[in-house]
Amino acid sequence: MNWYEDMNLWSGFSEVLFTPERARAAADAVATSPLLAFAPASRVLDQCCGTGFFTAPLARRGYQVTGVDLHPELLERAAAACADAGATASFVRADVREYGAPEAYDVVVNMYTSFGYFDDHEDNMRVLHNAHRSLAPGGQLLVDLLSKETYASWVGPPKIVDVPGGMVVMRDTILDDWTRYRTDWTLVRGDTAAHTSLTCYVYSAAELRAMFAEAGFGKIECFGNLDGGPYDAHATRLIIRGSKGSG
């Protein structure tokens, strides 16, 4: 089984990945980010929506949102998050390498480093191609991730994150001359320890720009945070946006 197909990984480390603080930060970003402000009632596809941290506030804001994820348990949590927010969204259980709906969306978002998971470069390209074919002419794709440049500024010694009743030790290793990284997580609770690891591509802005262009996107722009700040030495994330030509 590939790591991203393992629900134990997502549920086991849910307390690190899907925290209330992240939910609040995502809701704040949707409320304030110029990059997440779309035309009223836009049709938005949230690729790899997880527990709906972006899906729910986007739906609450009046967009017609569809969340896609591989794991039914996470989609159930996303639907509950929408209900709690007093919003409705549609959900599809699918692999992002497969899911696409021709010209059905005005916007595709892919948030919180949910891109670059597949060992085969062509599979990662398929995710971009699926986004492109799912967009109506003039539509936009926005991908938010830790890039090579932003990752380089904090990768280093293992980090420890406290979780209720225990802690998670996280260690990152750069692989294949900065082509990919591996993150090893160990959850220690009482006298038990659970270990898991994931391997992901890590892209520079230039590499991802080239992939966007290959998938057919134009007007490609990079930002260093969701406030729309420049992608420079102070960038904390890479937010890359591309548009589908209007023909």
Ligand X SMILES: C[S@@+](CC[C@H](N)C(=O)[O-])C[C@H]1O[C@@H](n2cnc3c(N)ncnc32)[C@H](O)[C@@H]1O
Q: CA-to-CA distance for 183 and 200, rounded, in angstroms?
A: 8
Q: CA-to-CA distance for 62 and 44, rounded, in angstroms?
A: 10
Tokens for 139, please give them: 């539509």
Q: How far is the CB of 218 from ligand X (least distance, A)?
A: 25
Residue 143 found at the interface with ligand X (CB under 6 A):
no
Distance of CA 8 to the CA centre of its chain: 19
Question: Which of 13, 33, 38, 53 lies at the binding interface for ligand X (CB under 6 A)?
Answer: 53
Q: How far is the CB of 37 from ligand X (least distance, A)?
A: 18
Nearer to ligand X, 117 or 212 (CB): 117
Distance of CA 85 to the CA centre of its chain: 21
Question: Which of 111, 143, 211, 215 lies at the binding interface for ligand X (CB under 6 A)?
Answer: 111
Question: Which of 6, 15, 95, 103 lies at the binding interface for ligand X (CB under 6 A)?
Answer: 95
Residue 181 found at the interface with ligand X (CB under 6 A):
no
Q: CA-to-CA distance for 95 and 70, rounded, in angstroms?
A: 5
Residue 50 found at the interface with ligand X (CB under 6 A):
yes
> Residues 97, 74: contact at Cβ < 8 Å?
no
**What is the amino acid identity at position 91?**
F
Q: Does residue 158 sit in helix, strand or coil?
A: coil
Q: How far is the CB of 247 from ligand X (least distance, A)?
A: 29
Contacting ligand X within 146-175 (CB under 6 A): none
Can you give the binding site for ligand X, defined by CB under 6 A? 4, 10, 17, 48-50, 53-54, 69-71, 74, 95-97, 111-114, 117
